[in-house]
């Protein structure tokens, strides 16, 4: 089993616990936590602190029909059919991600974006976006920097950049200070889940031209 060496920050885990992260980033956090015992334990501790704070807060009054109105909203919501959770050693996508894709990796609707790289943009709300990327072994992503935050979680294979090596379950937290060229390791295709809240800053002219078409 791959040892997870790169984890989420306390700030990200606390924001996820408080429900203040954009949906795109929340999906990456939930997927990583489903793979990482260490981050799951840390998040549970933040949840416990939040629950204690709520328990100590002052009571607020609600209308007499609040419960009835809430149940009516739940009844009116569209019925969501959850895909079967494909667990075990053969599953590539953890359960939180399978719910967005509709199954495991064979259900992903890939779109080629050049150089053998494929992507699948997932449907999330808010200004941040999240996508699955499939990078052939030995291939390099274009040299780029960041205008905001980028979370990249490895689901299959591994990649290396100027910072370190990232394998299954590892997450790289990038900000404006990081400029790198991720390269997928030889062998199995590297599949990553990547969320961004601002367009990347590509160095080369061709990636900059293609950027408006691939939306990253």
Q: How confident is the model at residue 197 (pLDDT cuts 50, 70, 90)?
A: confident
Predicted pLDDT of residue 25: 96
Residues 89, 117: Cα–Cα separation, whole Å: 25
Predicted pLDDT of residue 96: 95
Residues 198, 66: Cα–Cα separation, whole Å: 39
Of 124, 153, 127, nearest to 30 by C-alpha is 153
Q: How confident is the model at residue 143 (pLDDT cuts 50, 70, 90)?
A: confident
Q: What is the DSSP string of 106-127?
A: GG---EEEETTEEEEE----SS
Predicted pLDDT of residue 192: 98
Determine what percent of the chain is predicted with pLDDT higher than 90: 56
Give me the mean pLDDT over the 131-143 stretch: 91
Predicted pLDDT of residue 215: 63
Q: How confident is the model at residue 123 (pLDDT cuts 50, 70, 90)?
A: very high
Residues 141, 134: Cα–Cα separation, whole Å: 11
Give me the mean pLDDT over the 135-148 stretch: 85
Res 85 pLDDT > 70 = no
Question: What domains does the chain contain, in order, with CATH numbers?
Answer: 1-55+92-216 (2.60.120.10)
To the nearest whole number, what is the mean pLDDT of the chain? 82
Res 104 pLDDT > 60 = yes
Predicted pLDDT of residue 181: 87
Predicted pLDDT of residue 176: 77
Highest mean pLDDT (candidates 125-129, 177-181, 203-207) = 125-129
Q: Of 77-81, 95-99, 102-106, 155-159, where does mean pLDDT reach its minimum?
A: 77-81
Assess contact for 93 and 104: CB atoms under 8 A.
yes
pLDDT tens digits, 24-59? 999 999 999 999 999 999 999 998 865 544 444 456
């Amino acid at each position: 089993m791959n040892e997870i060496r790169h984890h989420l920050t306390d700030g990200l885990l606390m924001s996820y616990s408080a429900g203040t992260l954009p949906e795109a980033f929340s999906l990456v956090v939930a997927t990583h936590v489903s793979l990482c015992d260490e981050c799951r334990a840390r998040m549970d501790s933040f949840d416990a602190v939040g629950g204690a704070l709520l328990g100590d807060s002052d009571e607020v009054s609600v209308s007499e029909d609040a419960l009835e109105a809430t149940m009516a909203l739940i009844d009116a919501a569209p019925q969501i059919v959850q895909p079967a959770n494909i667990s075990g050693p053969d599953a590539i996508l953890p359960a939180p991600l399978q719910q967005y894709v509709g199954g495991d990796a064979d259900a992903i609707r890939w779109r080629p974006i050049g150089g053998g790289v494929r992507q699948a943009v997932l449907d999330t709300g808010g200004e941040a976006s999240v996508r699955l990327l499939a990078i052939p072994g030995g291939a390099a992503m274009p040299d780029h920097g960041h205008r905001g935050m980028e979370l990249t979680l490895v689901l299959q294979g591994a990649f290396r950049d100027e910072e370190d090596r990232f394998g299954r379950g590892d997450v790289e937290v990038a900000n404006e200070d990081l400029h790198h060229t991720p390269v997928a390791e030889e062998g199995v295709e590297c599949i990553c889940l990547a969320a961004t809240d601002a367009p990347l800053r590509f160095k080369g002219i061709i990636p900059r031209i293609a950027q408006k078409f691939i939306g990253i």
